Amino acid sequence: MTARPINEDDLHALVDDRLDPARGAEVEAYLACNPDARARVERLRILGRDLRSAFAPVLAEPVPARLNLAHILKARRRPRRPAWQATAAAMLLTLGGLGGWALHGALAPVPAGVDALAQEAGASFAVYAPDRSGRLNSPPATATRSPAGSPPGSRARSRCRI
Amino acid sequence: MSDMVRLVEPLIPALRRYARALLRDPADADDLVQDCLERAVSRWHQRRSDGDTRTWLTAILHNLAVSQMRRRARRGAHMSVEDAPEASLAVAPSQDGALRHRDLMAALDALPDEQRNVLLLVTVEGLSYAEAAQVLAIPTGTVMSRLSRARDRMIRLMDGEGVTVPAKRPLLRRVK
């Protein structure tokens, strides 16, 4: 008989049900006349059963919601929308800022109230201040009277008031 | 994506079982499975279409577990309430099943990581030697030798030196 000798790997493969039928029969025949090897295989089988039954309850537990594939797929798709929205918001902000800056010059405020007065005063000064002859300032009616000068009393009165 | 749900969903309970066997803490184990599923979803298109989905997923889970255990080892071992000696003493001696379970877990803890991984993949998860080799990225011959050493050690610890198991169990395990 030229059968391959039975080795340690064969015993493990028998326990794990990984032997082809022909080799399985050879190993079984060997075990039949080797009580020590038989006891060892039996012990290995018990160890496997113990380990499997120790962790078997996990299989019976309901799978937690966070391990639900549908949820994981959904959570993976969700981050894309906020990113898209953030980009859109950033673009709108930039557009608004640029537009506002461009329109700032075109829509310069029309002066009103004290500003309007100040502007008018500035314009008047620019027009009348260089006019030393006084020609612009004097209405035609006073122009005829002014060479005669103001009555002396009125000038004195004004001096007293100061 | 629908074929992904069809192929992956039935495997989730087994992934949870392997994660629980590796990490023992239920919340940590489910965190690991969640990481694994998220990674699987994002890399679904990268997997080999002729490859086995279970082997592929288990390899992802295993690699995540290895890096997590490495981080944990660097921080120092985490000791859960069940592992504490007081807790094991609190189990009534009459509870034979509970004692047996505790011995089994203690022996499993005492195994080097590389041996425990092979033992769990082959014995509990029912992977073939070739599949286990693929998950662990090691030759099939190495799977066989680690499996043999792991089983021998478990049986020795449980049958022969069971009493000395708690004393021998290290708090800090070196990861090579």
- Give pLDDT tens digits for A49-78: 999 999 999 999 999 999 998 888 888 776
| Interchain CB contacts (distance < 8 Å): A and B | 81
Band the pLDDT of B76: cuts 50, 70, 90.
low
Nearest to B141 by CA among B171, B113, B118: B118
B17 touches chain A (CB under 8 A): yes
In sign, the C-alpha dihedral spanning B107, B109, B115, B119 is positive
Q: Note the pLDDT of residue A131.
A: 74
Query: Quick one: pLDDT band at residue A162, thresholds 50, 70, 90?
Result: very low
Q: What is the pLDDT of residue B73?
A: 77
- Tens-digit pLDDT profile for residues A102-148: 887 677 767 778 888 888 899 888 888 887 776 766 665 544 444 44
Band of pLDDT at residue A153, cut at 50, 70 and 90:
very low
* Range list for CATH 1.10.10.10 in chain B: 79-176
Which residues of A fall below an 8 Å CB-CB distance to B?
A: 8-9, 12-13, 16, 18, 43-44, 47-48, 50-52, 54-56, 58-59, 61, 63-64, 66-67, 69-70, 72-73, 76
Q: What is the Cα–Cα distance from A43 to A67, expressed in whole angstroms?
A: 37
In this predicted structure, the answer to whether residue A156 has a pLDDT above a threshold of 60 is no
Residue B32 confidence (pLDDT) above 90: yes
Q: Do B38 and A67 touch (CB under 8 A)?
A: no
CA distance A9 to B151: 12
Chain B, 119 to 138: residues with Cβ < 8 Å from chain A are 119-120, 122-124, 128-129
Q: The domain at B1-78 falls in which architecture?
A: Orthogonal Bundle (1.10)
Give me chain A's average pLDDT, please: 81
CATH 1.10.10.10 for domain B79-176: yes
**Mean pLDDT within B111-122:** 96
Mean pLDDT of chain B: 83
- Taking the C-alpha atoms of residue B112 and residue B52, their distance in angstroms, rounded to an integer, is 28
Q: What is the 3-state secondary structure (H, E, C) of B121-156?
A: HHHHCCCCHHHHHHHHCCCHHHHHHHHHHHHHHHHH
Q: Do A55 and B20 count as a contact with CB atoms less than 8 A apart? A: yes
**How much is the pLDDT for A109?**
67
Identity of the residue in B8, B119, B147 whose CB atom sits nearest the CB atom of A69: B8
- Considering CB atoms only, which of B1, B13, B159 is closest to A59? B13
Cross-chain CB nearest to B128 (options A18, A44, A55): A18
Q: What's the CA gap between A72 and A67, in Å, rounded?
A: 7
Inform me whether the pLDDT recorded for B167 exceeds 70.
Answer: no
Look at residues A1, A6, A49, A13 and name the one whose alpha carbon lies nearest to residue A27. A6
Taking the Cβ of residue B41 and every Cβ of chain A, the question of whether any pair is shorter than 8 Å is answered with: yes
Give the confidence band of A83 by pLDDT, cuts at 50, 70, 90: confident
Residues B64-95: b if buried by 16+ CB within 10 A, e if exposed: bbeebbeeeeeeeeeeeeebeeeebeeeeeee
